[in-house]
Structure formats: structure tokens, C-alpha cells
Amino acid sequence: MSNILEAQHVVKRYAEHTALNDVSIEVPQGSIFGLLGPNGAGKTSLIRIINQITAPDEGQIILNGERLQPKHIEDIGYLPEERGLYKKMKVGEQLLYLAQLKGMKKVDALEKLKMWFIKFDIKDWWDKNVEDLSKGMQQKTQFIATIVHEPKLIILDEPFSGFDPINANLLKDEILELKQRGTTIIFSTHRMESVEELCDNIALINKSKVVLHGEKKEVKNRFKDNSYSVEYTGNLHNENGHFELINTQILEDGIMKSTIKNIQNVPVNQLVSQLMNQIELKSFNENIPSFNEIFIKVVGGEGNDLL
């Protein structure tokens, strides 16, 4: 899979601080890419550079194999975290204007917008003033503005913030549908459950540096600690040292739940057969860390040895 976007050793300095310090990421074509990081880590700075709102001090951005140039503006759709619309303008007019600024011809824009208005069932909003719309309605309008010109790359900065659950779901479905049509989506977020659900690849930026980068599964594997959850009846004891019993809790009906760690790295089958000798197994699962845990671990200062 080729990369639609590569950031190569990007550095951005402001007067008092460095916003991005030698940041390199690769975004595969057609993927959903999660740009993670705490507040102030440099995510928005990177997004602004990709959108050519600002320029990097060092390094470069490659889009579709070419160095980033003004013509690429039309290939990118951007929904900033702080979003807004012209309040006194009509919805339809405004979307038409924004689409034309993204390089669409008026007729094409009109046609595409009509399609979206029908899809979102908002046909009667066309002549409404933006200030008369509810917040949710404005969000839909903004989303249409982001994607109407059918960009190859869509950048969503905290897309779910401020969305109610219904609109958030609608947005999620749209993101997945766009992916299916081959669009690449970068989204920056703190919401780890949406990363879990949607992303194929991630990059975690902390203190202006990329501290974690790669495919979702592969990143998770890196953070596996060889521990397993076991549910069982009977008495589990750690006698010949293949595993370490970390903790045990009692569930209902005499069922026990323990976390064990495969300290000698024996094959899983061997581990399971050893357990089966001791107990009646109800379930056996490998503990895969959630992104929430990974995030806290990495940003919290641990796990730097895994880089």
C-alpha cells in the first residue's frame, strides 16, 4: 500500500517554543489514520502545515509523491477543531462559496450539494440563514463543506467534539463510507474509543515529537505484556513456573477470574494445557491493551523503551 501523505522531518518553531520537532509520519492510501496526542502536543500545528496554512521551518510534506504545493489545496478537505460559518449567509450560498473556493465549478458544486442535501434530508435548509440553524445542523453543514469537493485526503480535527450521539454516529458512518470509496482520512482526537473503532494506523505525538507510529494492531502488539485473562472453576496455583499469577477475583457461581503472565514465553498451547490440568477452563483470552491504556502509558512517561 502506497502512502498518500508523508511528513519528513518536519520542524516548526514559534517564538517561544518548538511546536514540531523532527516529526515524520506516513499515511497509507485509503486508510483511516489517527493523529493522537495530548493538548498542545503539536497536532494542530502539523495539520496546519499539511493544509498549507503555515509552512514548516524544516522538512517537507509529500502528497501523492509530490512536494506539497498550492494546487494540492483542492485535494484536501479540512474540518478544523474550531469551526464556524458566516452567520448571516444562507446555507446553500455558503456551501456553494466554500466549494468554489476549493476549486469546484459552480455547476458541479451545485449538483454535488444537491446530492448531499438529499442524502442528509436537509433540502429545506438551503435558503435558511446559518444563524437560524441549531448547532447540530451547523455541524452537518460544516461536514458537507469539508467533503463536497471530493478530496482524496480528509483531515478532521476532533471531529466528534460537540456532536450529539446521533450526529456522531452519522459522522462515523460517513467516515467509513468515504473510506470504502478510497478516501484517506486523518483524524486527530483524544477520544480513544473512536480510535479503537475506526483507525487502521496511528501516530501519537507528545511534546512536539512522534512517540508512537504504525499500524494499529502492530502498535498494540508492541504494548502486549504477555498476560492473559482466565475464567475457571477449581484451584489455580503456580507450581512449575511457566506463568506468574498476577491477581485473582471471585465472580458469581464459584467462577474465578485470574490474570496470569507468561513469564517463560512458552507457546500458548502449552500454557493452556498446563492450566487444563489444574482447573476447568471457562474462557481464556490474551490481554490486548486498549489505546486508552497505551496513551496514558506513553504520555504518562512510561513505555519510552518501546519506541
Partner 1 sequence: MNKILLIIQREYTTRVRKKSFWIASLLVPFLIAGVYAIPIYLALSSNDTKNIDVVDESGLFKGKIKSDEELTYRFIDKSFEKAKTDLYISDADILVNIQKDILQNPNGVKIVSKKSVGIGTQFDIEGKIQNELRNIKFQNANIDLKVLEENKVKVNAETFTIQEDGKEQSNSSTGAMILAGVFGIILYMSVLLYGSQVMNGVIEEKSNRIIEVMISSVRPFQLMIGKIVGVGLVGLTQFMLWGILTFATSSATTAVMSGKIEEKVKTMQSKGANSLDIKKMKDEFKSKNPLNNISQTVENVSLAKMIICFLLFYIGGYLLYSSLFAAIGSAVENSTEAQQFMFPVTIPIIISFMLGQYIIQQPDSPVAFWASMFPLTSPINMMVRLPFGVPNWEIALSFTILVLGFLGASWFAGKVYRVGILMYGKKPTWREISKWVFYKG
Report in angstroms how near the CB of residue 63 gets to partner 1 at its nearest.
14
80 belongs to the binding site for partner 1 (CB under 8 A): yes
- Cα–Cα dist 289/225, whole Å: 8
Rank residues 157 and 200 by Cβ distance to partner 1 and give the closer one: 157
Report in angstroms how near the CB of residue 65 gets to partner 1 at its nearest.
22
Q: Which of 2, 65, 84, 254 binds partner 1 (CB under 8 A)?
A: 84
Report in angstroms how near the CB of residue 156 gets to partner 1 at its nearest.
12
Degrees, nearest 5: CA angle 24-43-28: 45
Q: Which of 145, 171, 186, 230 binds partner 1 (CB under 8 A)?
A: 145
Site string for partner 1, 49-78 (x = CB under 8 A): --xxxxxxx------------x--x--x-x
Rank residues 130 and 211 by Cβ distance to partner 1 and give the closer one: 130
- Cα–Cα dist 138/125, whole Å: 10
Q: Which of 1, 2, 65, 82 binds partner 1 (CB under 8 A)?
A: 82
162 belongs to the binding site for partner 1 (CB under 8 A): no
160 belongs to the binding site for partner 1 (CB under 8 A): no
222: Cβ–Cβ under 8 A, 6 or more apart, which residues? 214, 306
Mode of pairing for the β-strands spanning 256-261 and 227-234: antiparallel
Q: Which of 62, 89, 279, 296 binds partner 1 (CB under 8 A)?
A: 89
Question: Exposed, middle or buried by CB within 10 Å (0-12, 13-18, 19+), for 224?
Answer: exposed
CA distances 88 to 62, 93, 129, Å, are 38, 11, 6
Residue 219 · residue 65 · CB < 8 Å: no
Return the biggest CA–CA distance within the chain: 76
Q: Which of 60, 64, 100, 167 binds partner 1 (CB under 8 A)?
A: 100
Q: Which of 7, 35, 63, 98 binds partner 1 (CB under 8 A)?
A: 98
- Cα–Cα dist 113/197, whole Å: 29
CA 261 to chain centre: 30
Task: Tell me the number of residues near partner 1 by CB under 8 A.
Answer: 30
Report in angstroms how near the CB of residue 129 gets to partner 1 at its nearest.
11
| Chain contacts with partner 1 (rule: CB under 8 A) | 15, 48, 51-57, 70, 73, 76, 78-80, 82-89, 97-98, 100-102, 142, 145
